[in-house]
Amino acid sequence: MSVISLTKWGNSVGVRIPTGELKAANAYVGEKFELSVNAQGGFTMIPLKNPQEGWLEAFNAMADAGEDKMLIEDLPNEFDKDEWTW
């Protein structure tokens, strides 16, 4: 646990978070957080993660392993037969 202080920053107030604490929280500079006041009168910061984070790496790993085949390619329907033109 680190002791930090609130610092005036223009019309706002900022804090400096030690690097060790950032690493322990798996946080990084520039990351966005939701800030709320908790019941004890302190602050809670919750990271706003992108719900699609890591998808590209996962898709690439599937393709590299040959696991990216179509799952329903054997089920043509009338629309597929008549409407699509290539």
Question: pLDDT per residue over 70-80, tens digit each?
Answer: 777 666 677 77
Range of the domain at 58: 7-75
- Does residue 1 sit within a domain? no
- Does residue 85 sit within a domain? no
- Does residue 82 sit within a domain? no
**Which domain CATH number covers 67?**
2.10.260
Percent of the chain at pLDDT > 90 equals 50
d(CA 71, CA 41): 52
CA 48 from centroid of its chain's CA atoms? 6
Close Cβ partners of 36 (under 8 Å, ≥ 6 residues apart): 43, 44, 46
User: 7-9 and 12-14: which strand pairing?
Assistant: antiparallel
Contact 2, 21 (CB under 8 A): yes
Q: How high is the pLDDT of residue 82?
A: 76
How many domains, in total, are found in the chain? Answer: 1
Question: pTM of this prediction?
Answer: 0.49
Helices and strands (H, E) in the chain, number of each type: 3, 4
- Does residue 67 sit within a domain? yes
